[in-house]
Structure 1
Amino acid sequence: MSRARRNWIAGALSLLGELLITAGLVLALFVAYSLWWTNVLAERDAAAKGDAVRQQWLSDPAPSPSAAAGPGALDTAGGIGFLHVPAMRNGEVLVKRGTTPEVLNDGVAGYYTQPVKSALPWDAAGNFSLAAHRDGHGAKFHNIHELRTGDPIVFETRDTWYVYKVFAELRQTSKYNVDVITPVPRQSGRTAPGRYITLTTCTPVYTSKYRYVVWGELVRTEKVDAARTRPAELR
C-alpha cells in the first residue's frame, strides 16, 4: 500500500473518530436536556403555578364546589388542587385539566378528559383518573413502582382533604387500554361504583411503550382548618 493511500485512510479514520465523538457529545447533551434540564424547568414552572393557586385560595372566599355544584366552579386554568403521595417522594403535585403534553410537560399531573372523562374527588361516585410523566418534565410519577397496597394517596382542595388507600396495581398494560380509567375499573377487581382514584404513567422507565396503573379508593374526607393542618397520612 502506498504512503499516500495509508495517509488517506488514516485521515479518514481520524475524521470518522471525531464525528463519532461529536455525535456522542450531542447525544449526551440531548439526554441531559431530556432527563435533567426539562425537570429543572418543569419544577420551576409547576412551583410558580402552584403558588398562584394557593394565593387564589387565600384571596377567594368562595368554597370548593360540591357534587351538586358541578366541577366547573373549581375547574380553573390554574389547577384544581394538589396530589400528595408519600411513597413516591415527589412533594405536592399540582393537578390540572387534561393529559396532553402541553399540560403534563409543565411538571404537573392532569386528569383525563378523553377518551374517558374523569370524575372529580367531590363527585358522589366515579374514578378520579390522573396521568403524569415518569421521566423528564418533572417526572412526578417516577417512583410509582414504590406504591404498595394500603399506602395513602391524598388530594388537597381549598377546603377538603380526600384520603385514598391503594388497593391494586397493574404494572404493565397497553397504552390503548382505556378500561383502567373507566368509572368502575374492573381490572382493579372492583365491580361496583365507588369513589376511586387512578394513577397512570408510562413504563418501562424512559419509554412510553406501556402504561403502569395504580388504583386507590376513598376512605375518608377531612375539612381543611384555618392552619391547613395535614391529615395524619402526610405527617
Structure 2
Amino acid sequence: MRERIPVVVQRDARGRRAAARGLWTGAELVVTLGVVLLLLVAHQLWWTNRQARAEAADTVHALERDWGGPERASDPAEPAQDTPEPLDVDDDTPVVGEEQTGGDGGGRTAAAPAPRRSQAYAVLRIPRIGLTAPVAQGVSKRGVLDKGYAGHYPGTAQPGGAGNFALAGHRNTHGEPFRHINRLRPGDPITVETRDAVYTYTVDKTLARTQPGDSGVIAAVPRSNAKPYPGYRTAGSYLTLTTCTPEFTSRYRLVVWGKLSGVRQR
C-alpha cells in the first residue's frame, strides 16, 4: 500500500495581516457607531431635558419679575396654590359663567390681548406632578414645544373664557413637561396665571388614547370624534392638556380635561 505524505499549506503572511486589519477596522467601526448612538440617546434623553428645563425656568422667573412677583391661586376647598398664566385667545369675550368665583366679587375678567407667535405669556402649574412651565402661543416644535413650554393651540379660548383653553406639551425629551399628566386624577387643581388674573381649573376627565387627528378634543365643547365619543355636550369653560402616548412614541394622543373652578384678580 502506498503511504500518503501529508501536505502542509502555509497561508500567505500578507493575507493574514490584511484579514486582521480588516477585522480590526470593522470592530473599530462598530464601536464608533455604538458610541455615536449612545451620544445621540444621551443628547435626546438628558441634554435636551436639561437645556429646555433651564430655559423654561428662566422664562417663568422673567414673567414673574415682569408681573411684580408670583401670586397664589384662591381655591375654595384647598390652601392657595401657585398660579400659572393664561393662554392665548382670539376674541375679547369677558370671563362669565356660573362656575367662576371672581376675586373681585364680580366674577368677570377682561380678556388679555392675543400674544405674538411663540411668545411666552402665562405660567402653568400642576401641583400633583410638580409642574411649573411657561405657556407660549402656538404649538410649533422649534419655537415653543422644544423649549420645554406648554403650547397654546391657536384658535382655542383664553384662560377663564367661555370655550376650551387647549394646550400641548412634550411627554419625552425637551423638558417633557407633560410626561406625567397620566397621573392626574379628578379633583386635582391646575392653575394658570397671567399678568392680570389667576385661573384655577379642576381636573374632570381623562382620555387615555385617541388618534393624533382627533380635533374634537380641543373643540370649544371638547368631545372626541372617536367612538364612544368621550367628552362633553354642553358649553362651559374648559382646559385641555394633550401629549403623545405611549411614551417615546407619537402614535396616539393622551388627553386630560378640566373645568374652570375659580378666578382671582391680581
Unaligned runs of 5+ in 2: 1-9, 70-85, 95-109, 225-229
Verify the 8 A CA contact 2:207 2:255 in the aligned structure 1.
yes
Unaligned runs of 5+ in 1: 225-235
Partner of 1:106: 147
Percent of aligned positions that are identical: 41
Whole-Å separation in 2 of the counterparts to 1:144 and 1:12: 51
SS of residue paired to 1:72: coil
| CA deviation profile, 1:98-127 (whole Å, cap 9, x unmatched) | 0001211111111001xxx1101132x100
For residues 1-235 of structure 1, what are the structure 2 equivalents within 5 Å?
2=11, 4-58=14-68, 67-68=93-94, 69-72=110-113, 75=115, 78-90=119-131, 92-101=132-141, 102-113=143-154, 117-123=155-161, 125-187=162-224, 188-224=230-266
| CA deviation profile, 1:60-101 (whole Å, cap 9, x unmatched) | xxxx9973454426x2564232111122222x1110100001
Q: Name the amino acid aligned to 2:170.
A: H
Whole-Å separation in 2 of the counterparts to 1:47 and 1:155: 16
| CA deviation profile, 1:28-51 (whole Å, cap 9, x unmatched) | 111111111111211222222222
SS of residue paired to 2:68: helix
* TM-score in terms of structure 2 length: 0.73
Verify the 8 A CA contact 2:170 2:244 in the aligned structure 1.
yes
Q: Flag the structure with more relative contact order, 1 or 2, with Cα contacts below 8 A and sequence separation at least 6.
A: 2
Larger gyration radius, structure 1 or structure 2: 2
Deviation at 1:22, TM superposition (A): 0.8
Structure with the bigger percentage of helix: 1
The number of residues matched between the two structures is: 214
Partner of 1:233: none
Verify the 8 A CA contact 1:110 1:131 in the aligned structure 2.
yes
Whole-Å separation in 1 of the counterparts to 2:248 and 2:33: 20
